[in-house]
Chains A and B, each alone.
Chain A
Amino acid sequence: MIKIKELSKVYLTPSQKITALDNVSLTVEKGEIFGIIGLSGAGKSTLIRCINMLEKPTMGSIVVDGQEITSLAKRELRTARQKIGMIFQHFNLLSSRTVFANVMFPLEIAKVPRPEAARRARELLELVGLADKEGAFPSQLSGGQKQRVGIARALANGPKLLLSDEATSALDPQTTRSILKLLRDINRKFNLTILLITHDMNVIKEICDRVAVIDNSHIVEVGEVLKVFASPSSPTARSFVNTVISREVPAELLHRSQVQNEQTHVKLIRVSFIGPSAGAPVISSMIRQFDIEANILYGNVDRIKDTPFGNLALELIGPPGVLQESMDYLRSRGLEIEVLNNA
């Protein structure tokens, strides 16, 4: 759906050159919810704005649904934008228009005949659960309701792509969850591709299929959300994962001696379970099969999108060879293993 190739954006100020994006390449598949996470100033906001050309890239190409966006003439760009919906952190509803008229606005821009536009607007307000508010003005709505109007407005012209610019960052956790649920429902119902940017790893965890981590104008990691949660490879990704799931093992445990004596070693490992294996009694069968001791230091089970995801810090005590075999056994059962006291 989106193919970004070697995209760069440089802002020139009289005194200096600021690189917001540096040679970014990314592909978003049709029908997926793709999240871009980064701290403020990392470049994610610029990146999402390049996709509908609210920001003009300095270099590189962006293809949306087979159309090269960066080389369109003004009029063509306006037509293309009608098929790319966008929602915003601060909703950006027109205070001079009612809820209904706000949803009508993009339909007016696309010159949809009035009766059909009105029917469509009502349908969308129904979809986002605000049918009874069509005569209200935005200032009479709560934040969550405003974002629902924003979503209805973004969907008005039947877009093939929805861009979400920190859409839940101004909302409380409960409202955030309900908005995310709405986005996921829409994604399923219309097979709508959603590209979102956020600084909140919970948003990624709740609804994204894949995630890109952006740091200092670069994409430092891209992958399936489950993969990134289970084994983040960049320090930035790791620190984001840690904001949601506590994976850190206390330092004093990490620095315990690895060797009790010649025959008995201690290995501190982190085990990640994904999906069905989270339900299987793998650890107990390992203990039964190998002559070692296992000490559980820490554990939790979470849910990423719809998949159970578990995390366990284990201390394994036994002869070095057997420890190796038992870890291989865990790996063979589909678990991710990371040795923590390998220093």
Chain B
Amino acid sequence: MLDAWLLDKLLFATWETIYMVLTSTVLSYLFGLPLGVILVITAKGHIMERIGINRVLGWVINATRSVPFIIFLILLIPLTRLIAGTYIGTVASIVPLTLAAIPFVARMVETSLKEIEWGLIEAALSMGASTWTIISQVLLPEAKPSLILGVAITTINLVGYSAMAGIVGGGGLGTLAYYYGYQRYENSIMWATVIVLIILVQGVQMLGDNLAGKVAKKRR
């Protein structure tokens, strides 16, 4: 059933998925992490209160998040073409994956940072800490275990999104499952993809739990 040809296809598709997911996770944090921080510190009563910016940012994030990913994917085709030169293939998929994940990451980061007790920020302020010092020395380090879990959740979400991108030619396990499993009725391929996806998701979650646990345990 699982012959060499299939195995080869599966391995390659798995690699493509990992590549897409990891790249878009990194890129989405590159933009989403600062946005999440801004979302927190510009809120009312926080260290850089800017209510206008906060509202606009919150609104944009909500608007982006309310569009279902599959529609987002199609809407973004022109932009994807502009950035990647094409809208088909793994590299092109990274554009919509990243753009869809950024607002999600921003909210995840916001949630993690909001858990920090205000007293810690107040203590840093009382020592004369600047906004940047508070971000880099208080907010981010204190929220580290929670932020790591956020990365795991984001990555897992992106595994799912990448499969959707695969259906419109994005490459990876999604493409494999769609073309071979669905259109050619090759059930074994369909099931093999599902099993690989389960392993991927489990692996990411375990890694996240482990890392977060290690950081938290050191402090305990």
Spell out A's residues near B (CB within 8 Å).
52, 54, 77-82, 84-86, 88, 90, 92-97, 105-106, 108-110, 137-140, 153, 157, 163
Cα–Cα, bound, A86→B129 (Å) = 13
Residues of B within 8 A of A81 (CB): 125-128
Quick one: which of A92, A109, A139 contacts B133, CB cutoff 8 A?
A: A109
Chain B hits for A139, CB < 8 A: 219-220
Name which of B2-10, B137-145, B193-201 contacts chain A: B137-145
**In whole Å, how far is A46's beta carbon from the nearest beta carbon of chain B?**
13
B124 proximity list for chain A (CB < 8 A): 105, 109
Cβ contact of A94, chosen from B126, B128, B141, cutoff 8 A: B141
Asked whether, in the complex, the Cβ of A110 is within 8 Å of the Cβ of B120, the reply is: no
User: Binding site of A, secondary structure by majority: helix, strand, loop or mixed?
Assistant: mixed
| Apart from the given pairs A96-B141, A153-B127, A157-B127, 6 other A-B contacts in the complex at a CB distance below 8 Å | A88-B122, A88-B123, A92-B122, A94-B141, A138-B219, A139-B220
Closest Cβ neighbor of B130 among chain A residues:
A78
In the bound assembly, the distance between CA atoms of A78 and B131 in angstroms comes to 11
A96 lies within 8 A of B142 (CB): yes
**Choice from B128, B133, B141 contacting A79 with Cβ under 8 Å:** B128
| Chain B residues within an 8 Å CB radius of A77 | 128
**Contact status B127-A95, CB under 8 Å:** no
Contact B138 A94, beta carbon cutoff 8 Å: yes
Q: How far is the CB of A32 from chain B (nearest CB, A)?
A: 21
Q: Within the complex, what minimum Cβ distance (angstroms) separates B125 from chain A?
A: 6
Whole-angstrom distance from the CB of A303 to the nearest CB of chain B? 33
Are A137 and B128 interface neighbours, CB within 8 A?
Answer: no
Cβ–Cβ contact B141 & A110, under 8 A = no
Let me know if A105 and B220 touch, CB within 8 A.
Answer: no
Residues of A within 8 A of B68 (CB): none
- Chain A contacts for B52, CB-based, 8 A: none
User: Which chain A residues border B138 with CB–CB below 8 Å?
Assistant: 94
For residue B117, give the distance in angstroms from its CB to the closest CB of chain A.
7
**Chain A residues within an 8 Å CB radius of B130:** 78, 109
Could you tell me which B residues sit within 8 Å of A by CB distance?
117, 119-120, 122-130, 133, 137-138, 141-142, 144, 218-220
A14 CB to closest chain B CB (Å) equals: 12
What are the residues of chain A within 8 A of B219 when measuring CB–CB? Answer: 95-96, 137-139
Q: Distance (Å) between the CB of B140 and the closest chain A CB?
A: 9
Residue of B nearest to A78 (CB): B128
Given A79, A86, A92, A108, which contacts B117 in the complex, CB threshold below 8 Å? A92
Best-buried of B119, B127, B218 by chain A (most CB within 10 Å)? B127
Question: In the complex, how many angstroms separate the beta carbon of A127 from the nearest chain B beta carbon?
Answer: 18
- Please state if A94 and B142 are interface contacts (CB–CB under 8 Å): yes
A78 to B117, CA, bound (A): 21
**Which 6 pairs, one residue from A and one from B, show the smallest C-beta to C-beta distance?**
A81-B128, A92-B123, A96-B141, A78-B128, A86-B126, A82-B128
Evaluate contact between A110 and B126: CB separation under 8 angstroms.
Answer: no
Name the distance in Å between A157's Cβ and chain B's nearest Cβ: 8
Contact between A78 and B129, CB atoms less than 8 A apart = yes
The distance from the CB of A87 to the nearest CB of chain B, in whole angstroms, is 9
From A90, which residue of chain B is reached at the shortest CB distance? Answer: B119
Residue of chain A at shortest CB distance from B220: A139
Query: Are B120 and A92 touching (Cβ within 8 A)?
Result: yes
Give the CA-CA distance A79 to B130 in the complex, in Å.
Answer: 10
Chain A residues whose CB sits within 8 angstroms of the CB of B142 once the complex forms: 94-96
How far is the CB of B116 from the nearest CB of chain A, in Å?
10
Measured between C-beta atoms, what is the minimum distance from A339 to chain B in Å?
A: 48
Q: Are B133 and A52 in contact (CB under 8 A)?
A: no
Chain B residues with Cβ below 8 Å from A108 are 137
B122 engages A82 (CB within 8 Å): no
Are A109's CB and B129's CB within 8 A?
yes
Whole-angstrom distance between the alpha carbons of A172 and B142 in the complex?
A: 28
Q: Which residues of A contact B127 (CB under 8 A)?
A: 81-82, 86, 105-106, 109, 153, 157
